Amino acid sequence: MKFWKKTLLVLLAVIFLAQIPFVYKRYQIGRLAAKITALEQNKTAIPRADFDEYKGIVHAHSSLGGHSTARFDELLGAAQTNDLDFVVMTEHFSPLFDTAALTLNGFYGKTLFIGGNEIDTGDSDRFLLIDGSREAAQFAARQTPEVLAKIHAENKIAFVTYPEKFKSWNAAFDGIEVFSLHTNAKKMNPFGFLPTALWSFGAYPELTLAQYFARPAENLRKFDEISVQRKITLFAGTDAHSNIGFHLFGDDTGNKFVNFKFDDYATVFRLVRTHVLLEKNKPLTRESLIESLKNGRSFVGFDVLGDTTGFSVAAENSGAQTAIQGDEINLQNGVRLKIAAPQKSRFVIYKNGEKIHEASDQTEIIFEAKEKGAYRTEIYLDALGSPFDQMPWIISNPIYIK
Q: In this predicted structure, what is the pLDDT of residue 375?
A: 98
Give the separation between CA 101 and CA 140, rounded to whole angstroms: 19
Q: Give tens-digit pLDDT for 20-33.
A: 777 778 889 999 99
Indicate yes or no: pTM above 0.85: yes
Q: Give tens-digit pLDDT for 233-265.
A: 999 999 988 766 544 455 665 666 555 566 889
Q: Give tens-digit pLDDT for 58-105.
A: 999 998 877 778 889 999 999 999 999 999 999 999 999 999 999 999
Bridge-based pairing of strands 273-279 and 298-301 is antiparallel
Q: In this predicted structure, what is the pLDDT of residue 9?
A: 66
Q: Which domains does the chain have, with CATH numbers?
A: 51-279 (3.20.20), 311-401 (2.60.40)
Give the separation between CA 184 and CA 392, rounded to whole angstroms: 14
What mean pLDDT do residues 145-163 have? Answer: 96
What mean pLDDT do residues 12-41 have? Answer: 82
Alpha helices in 118-189 (DSSP H): 144-153, 181-186
What mean pLDDT do residues 391-399 have? Answer: 98
Q: Give tens-digit pLDDT for 369-394.
A: 999 999 999 999 999 998 999 999 99
**CB within 8 A of 143, min separation 6: which ones?**
121, 122, 123
Q: Give tens-digit pLDDT for 180-228.
A: 998 888 887 877 788 888 888 889 999 999 999 999 999 999 999 999 9
| Residue positions counted in the chain | 402
Q: In this predicted structure, what is the pLDDT of residue 66?
A: 74
